[in-house]
């Protein structure tokens, strides 16, 4: 068959960008983790800087764990959580959701939006964490009323009481080298806790 030179190369056939087959998809070396919700409990608070912020728990939608049934139904888990005082925080409390899903080994690696998974040469490393961003999120939860403010009596009987005991222990050990700076640090921490708890009234 005759061929006419001067036309488009390859007879006008255009290349396309290949679509990566599933087996070649780029994935994190992390093991897959289930979807989850963050949850709040009135007993779980922590001192961060000079303020009391909630210490959230994680409710994983993981079949067989904590009452999640064979189909992923969470009714039984919801009931158990609510009976013990947990309050689940919906993904939609912030516009772009607080959960992120990364392609990983055997499924998706689900983590919060403030966590960036890290790996080098196939080895999983601790994630980079935007702590300031996460703390802003915790502040927003309290400010917007998604979680109730801390109850001073509860803080006094949990965080403050535990911190007092920690200091009593350290006082008894303060003759040992290196303990004095720790004692001073923990005393400052107790003072900050008491101030924050007073401010929460």
Partner 1 sequence: MAIKYTDVSAARLSEVLSADMQLALADRFSLWGSPAIHYAGDAGARGSTTIKVPIPSLNGVNRMAAIAENASTAATALTLTSATVTIARQALQRDATDLLNLTDSVGINTQAFITDMVGAAAMRFQEMLVNITDGFTATVGTTTVDMSVDDWFSADFTLTQASAPGAAARIACLYPVQVTDLRNSIRAEAGAFQYRTDVMGWLEAAGQGPQGSFLGVPILSSSLVPTANAGADSAGAMWAYGAVTYADGTPSAVRGAGDVVFPAGSKLYVELERDAGGALTKIVGNYFVGVSILQQGLGVSIITDR
Give the binding site for partner 1 (CB under 8 A). 41, 43-44, 46-48, 55-60, 62-70, 76-77, 80, 83-85, 111-112, 114-115, 126-127, 129-131, 134, 158, 162, 165-166, 169-170, 173, 176, 178-179, 186, 189
Q: Which residue, 42 or 152, has its beta carbon nearer to partner 1? A: 42
Q: Which residue, 103 or 172, has its beta carbon nearer to partner 1? A: 172
What six digits make up the tokens of 71?
């189909």
Distance CA 174, CA 162 (A): 18
Query: Judging by beta carbons within 10 Å of its beta carbon (0-12, 13-18, 19+), is residue 192 exposed, middle or buried?
Result: middle
Q: Which residue, 172 or 198, has its beta carbon nearer to partner 1? A: 172
CB of 26 to partner 1, least distance (A): 21
CB of 61 to partner 1, least distance (A): 11
CB of 87 to partner 1, least distance (A): 12
CB of 57 to partner 1, least distance (A): 5
For 5, other C-beta atoms within 10 Å of its C-beta total: 4
What six digits make up the tokens of 129?
């964490």
CB of 150 to partner 1, least distance (A): 14
What SS3 class is residue 187?
A: helix
Distance CA 45, CA 61 (A): 24
Q: Which residue, 75 or 144, has its beta carbon nearer to partner 1? A: 75
Q: Which residue, 85 or 103, has its beta carbon nearer to partner 1? A: 85
Strand partners, 119: 124
Q: How far is CA 87 from CA 27, 47, 175, in A?
A: 33, 20, 45
Distance CA 48, CA 150 (A): 14
């Amino acid at each position: 068959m005759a061929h006419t030179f001067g036309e488009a190369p390859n007879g006008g056939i255009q290349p396309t960008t290949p679509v990566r087959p599933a087996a070649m998809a780029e994935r994190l070396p992390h093991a897959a983790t289930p979807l989850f919700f963050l949850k709040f409990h009135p007993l779980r608070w922590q001192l961060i800087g000079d303020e009391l912020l909630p210490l959230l728990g994680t409710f994983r939608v993981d079949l067989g764990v904590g009452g999640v049934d064979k189909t992923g139904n969470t009714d039984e888990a919801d009931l158990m959580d609510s009976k013990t005082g947990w309050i689940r925080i919906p993904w939609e409390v912030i516009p772009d959701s607080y959960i992120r899903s990364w392609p990983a080994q055997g499924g998706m690696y689900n983590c919060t939006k403030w966590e960036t998974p890290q790996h080098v040469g196939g080895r999983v490393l601790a994630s980079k964490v935007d702590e300031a961003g996460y703390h802003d999120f915790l502040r927003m939860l309290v400010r917007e009323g998604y979680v109730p403010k801390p109850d001073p009596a509860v803080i006094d009987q949990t965080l403050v009481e535990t911190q007092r005991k920690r200091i009593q222990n350290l006082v008894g050990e303060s003759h040992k080298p290196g303990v004095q700076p720790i004692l001073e640090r923990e005393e400052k921490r107790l003072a900050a806790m008491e101030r924050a708890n007073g401010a929460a009234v």
